[in-house]
């Protein structure tokens, strides 16, 4: 579970230290990448707290979500429709659902220890 978190933090640190600028044409794709990563990390944390974490589910879910979000964003650009909003909203909802589930799991663990 800590390997994905460590990878994300290392990537953020490298990105901040190198000063690489992303062309405006790719901003949407990078935004979706970051949201998919955050969603996957919170989902992994939730499943770890439930003692149901699996590396294969984490990796396949991460890549499938990313691929689907990028395909929708690409199709939206080709059709001149802001279709990237669909995965943006869906990922935002999932992030909030996962954080709520994480909070419930932590509270139930704390209550069971009393």
Average pLDDT over residues 42-71: 93
> pLDDT grade, residue 1 (50/70/90)?
low
Domain that holds residue 81: 21-113
pTM here? 0.81
**Chain centroid, CA 71 distance in Å:** 16
Domain membership of residue 57 (yes or no) is yes
**CA atoms in the 13 A half-sphere facing the CB of 49:** 18
Domain membership of residue 71 (yes or no) is yes
Domain membership of residue 9 (yes or no) is no
In this prediction, residue 44 carries a pLDDT of: 92
At 59-113, the pLDDT tens digits run 999 999 999 999 999 999 999 999 999 999 999 999 999 999 999 999 999 998 8
DSSP state of 52: -
Domain membership of residue 3 (yes or no) is no
Strands (E), the chain: none
DSSP state of 24: G
Domain membership of residue 11 (yes or no) is no
Could you give the number of structural domains in the chain? Answer: 1
**Contact indicator for 23, 64 with CB cutoff of 8 Å:** no
Domain membership of residue 67 (yes or no) is yes
Q: What is the dihedral of CA 105, 108, 110, 113, to 10 degrees?
A: -130
Domain membership of residue 81 (yes or no) is yes
For residue 4, pLDDT over 90 is answered with no
CA gap 6, 41 in Å, rounded: 11
Domain membership of residue 52 (yes or no) is yes
């Amino acid at each position: 579970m800590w390997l994905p978190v460590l990878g994300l933090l290392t990537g953020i640190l490298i990105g901040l230290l190198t000063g690489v600028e992303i062309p405006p044409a790719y901003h949407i794709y990078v935004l979706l990448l970051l949201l998919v990563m955050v969603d996957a990390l919170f989902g992994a944390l939730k499943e770890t707290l439930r003692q149901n974490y699996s590396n294969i589910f984490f990796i396949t879910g991460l890549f499938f979500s990313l691929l689907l979000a990028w395909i929708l964003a690409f199709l939206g650009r080709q059709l001149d429709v802001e279709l990237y909003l669909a995965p943006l909203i869906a990922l935002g909802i999932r992030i909030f659902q996962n954080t709520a589930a994480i909070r419930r799991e932590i509270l139930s663990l704390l209550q069971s220890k009393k």
